[in-house]
Chains A and B, each alone.
Chain A
Amino acid sequence: MTRGATAKLAGYTGLAALALFLGLALRLPELVAVGAPFALVVALGLLVERRPTVDVTLRPDRERILEGEEVELELDVKASAPTELYVQLPRELELVDGSNPFAVDGDEVVTLRVRATRWGAYLPGLVYVRTYDRFRVVRWETRLERRTPLKVYPHAEYLRTLVRPLRTQVFAGNQVAREKGDGIEFADLRPFVPGDLARRVNWRASARRGELWVNEYHPERNSDVIIFVDSFAEARRDGTSTLDQGVRATAALAARYLREKDRVGLISFGGTLNWLLPATGLVHLYRIVDAVLDSRVVLNYAWRNLDVVPRRTLPAHALVLAVSPLLDERATDALLDLRGRGFDLAVIEVSPVEYVAAGPEPADRLAHRLWRLKREAQRTRYERAGVPVAVWTAEGSLAGALEEVKAFRRYARSAR
């Protein structure tokens, strides 16, 4: 603990010294009488003060909560003297019950109730401790690192259906493959060849044609889905941002695809690059959500392209679902590069238009209009490359955006 003098110590010492000096110089005993109590307070304060011992244990009642939920932080304080404490909380954790800073007199258990206003991974628990001697002339201060991880998960968006990849993988899953093989979904009929199972014979078709015909089936396979989160830039307004929406979409999509037994991978492409190799299972879902909780917009001017992404992160025939506000040229170019390499790509554009209001001046309005036209042109660029771009606004639903992607893909397939 750091020991320091209070303003009172300096003030009283100076006052006592001045009173005694003037008393001597002017031969006025009254001044000695006036200065003596101040000297006495200082002397007593310094004589009775002892190095205090303070220990704090911080326990949140839960380690994982949803955005908007409340959590109780229980602080078990053991102090040998009256102590003042302040728990530094991240801006996103709002105090709803209890006072901070607070004071304890000896051993006490104090509970602070906080509400998480935004998703993220937080480490609350930096505790500032200050204690005084009885006369408040000496101050003891320290900072206790009692950080405890608290993960705030984003609200899941409701999704009824998913965008299906054009190609499936080789493992069993819930998606009907385009290929023919062992499955239960009827695909086609073909003449019997030696080696075919008798139970595959379609007796009606065989009776009509006068020879043996067998059914062919589509197997149920899984697919690889890569969620591409663009974290180069964000548009922010009133505490919410396009990245917030993007993270919510990522969590919802990952949960839904993993429930369908698909393998899901993650690429957070921005100032810092994070990735997760495609995998399946509940543990992987937590891994993905934990990874996106660390998503931050990190300002970076370095030019980045797909060469920095590990090769195994983008398996062949994977569906790449990009969640992007399409604000940074590097991300848009990388996505077009992906399409050029033959990846099945769909873009969910988290619209930044609502976050950016046009200014009052005519020139501002013109600039805003030009910016919107430029975005339209960019969208057309994607559509010309065969990439569906669904605009997801803050008021709209993610399910609606996914339906838009599916409609585009249906149209694109029938036109070929």
Chain B
Amino acid sequence: MGASSALQADVLPVPLAVAGAVAVVALAVGLAGRWGPLVQLALTISLVAYAVSLLDRGEVDQSAPFVAAALLAVGELAYTSVEPPARRVWPFSVGMVAASAGVAALLLGVAGLGGGEVRDLAIGVLAAAAALAIVARLAAKASR
């Protein structure tokens, strides 16, 4: 993902390549040492690198669903390695990754239809805030 971000980017290709390399190293060290925070750091760097590569592009990236599916697959595999189950199980189902790609594609389609109107931006802000609130609420419940 780091390499693809650097190749596709119109701005800062070298720093993006470095960020991709850092993400790979962090992931490798995190998996070797079973450190969850390093896995999270690798995923975060990948996400930020992808975000930077999208700057000044001007059009919606059609490969975003694949990026989402790939990132989710990496996350599932990495966290399964960090906290391995006692019995060998397939860490994620093909349906799960396909569903995530589908959700991402759907969201992307909805966003593309809007055309950047103020009304759509407001809906987007509300939807994102609601999603964050739901996740935060559920996370707080989980940590209790």
Task: Collect the chain B residues with CB atoms within 8 Å of residue A115's CB.
Answer: none
Task: Output the least CB separation between A27 and chain B (Å).
Answer: 8
CB atoms of A20 and B39 under 8 A apart: no
Contact with B along A20-37 (1 / 0, CB 8 A): 111110111111111111
> Contacts A20-B131, A30-B61, A38-B75 hold; do A15 and B47 have CB atoms under 8 A apart?
yes
Q: A11: which of B36, B60, B132, B141 is its contact (CB, 8 Å)?
A: B36
Known pairs A24-B128, A31-B51, A34-B47; A7 contacts B82 (CB<8 A): yes
Chain A, Cβ-Cβ closest to B139: A13
CB of B21 within 8 A of chain A?
no
A residues in contact with B143, CB < 8 Å: 4-5
Interface stretch among A41-49, A62-70, A232-240, A368-376? A41-49
A82 to B82, CA, bound (A): 19
Decide yes or no whether A6 CB sits under 8 A from chain B.
Answer: yes
CA distance A86 to B86 in the complex (A): 9
Assess the B40–A10 pair: CB atoms within 8 A: yes
**Interface presence of B85 (CB below 8 A):** yes
Contact in complex: A15, B44 (CB < 8 Å):
yes
Q: Which residues of B contact A101 (CB under 8 A)?
A: 86
- A residues within 8 A CB of B72? 37-38, 41
Question: Given that A33-B108, A34-B104 are known contacts, is A8 also in contact with B124, CB under 8 Å in the complex?
Answer: no
The complex places the Cα of A47 from the Cα of B67 at a distance, in Å, of: 26
Q: What is the predominant secondary structure among interface residues of chain A facing chain B?
A: helix
- Report Cα–Cα, A126/B125, bound state, in Å: 51
Measured CA separation A36–B132 after assembly (Å): 10
A32-B124, A38-B72, A43-B135 are contacts. A136–B79 as well, Cβ < 8 Å? yes
> Is B134 located at the chain interface by the 8 A CB criterion?
yes
Q: Are B131's CB and A14's CB within 8 A?
A: no
Once the chains bind, are B51 and A28 in contact (CB under 8 Å)?
A: yes
Is A19 an interface residue, CB under 8 A from the partner?
A: yes
Please state if B75 and A33 are interface contacts (CB–CB under 8 Å).
no
Q: Which residues of B contact A14 (CB under 8 A)?
A: 40, 44
Interface residues on B, range: 35 or more
* A291 CA to B75 CA, complexed, in Å: 56
Residues of A within 8 A of B111 (CB): 29, 32-33
Q: In whole angstroms, what is the CA distance A14 to B42 when docked?
A: 12
Q: Cβ of A8 and Cβ of B75 under 8 Å apart?
A: yes
Cβ contacts under 8 Å, A11 to chain B = 36, 39-40, 43, 75, 79
Contacts A17-B132, A28-B54, A33-B68; is A8 near B86 (CB within 8 Å)? no
Q: In chain B, residues 42-76, which have Cβ atoms closer than 8 Å to a Cβ of chain A?
A: 43-44, 47-48, 50-51, 54-55, 60-61, 64-65, 67-69, 71-72, 75
- Known interface pairs A6-B83, A7-B36, A29-B124; A13-B135 also in contact (CB < 8 Å): yes
B119 CB-CB contact with A under 8 Å: no
Residue ID in chain A nearest B125 by CB atoms: A24
Do A137 and B64 touch (CB < 8 A)?
no
Q: Does A138 lie at the interface of the complex (its beta carbon under 8 Å from any beta carbon of B)?
A: yes
Chain B residues positioned under 8 Å from A43 (CB to CB)? 134-135, 138
- Would you call A37 and B44 a contact (CB within 8 A)? no
What residues of chain A lie closer than 8 Å to B86, measured between beta carbons?
84-86, 101-103
A273 to chain B, nearest CB (A): 45
Question: Which A residue's beta carbon lies closest to that of B34?
Answer: A7
Partner of B54, one of A13, A15, A30, A136: A30
Task: Please tell me if A356 contacts chain B, counting CB pairs below 8 Å.
Answer: no
Q: List 6 A-B contacts (CB under 8 A).
A: A10-B139, A14-B44, A16-B132, A34-B104, A40-B103, A136-B83
Which A residues contact B (CB, under 8 angstroms)?
A: 3-24, 26-43, 46-47, 82, 84-86, 101-103, 105, 132, 136-138
Given contacts A29-B64, A29-B111, A34-B71, 7 further A-B contacts (CB under 8 A): A29-B112, A30-B67, A32-B124, A36-B103, A37-B101, A84-B86, A102-B86
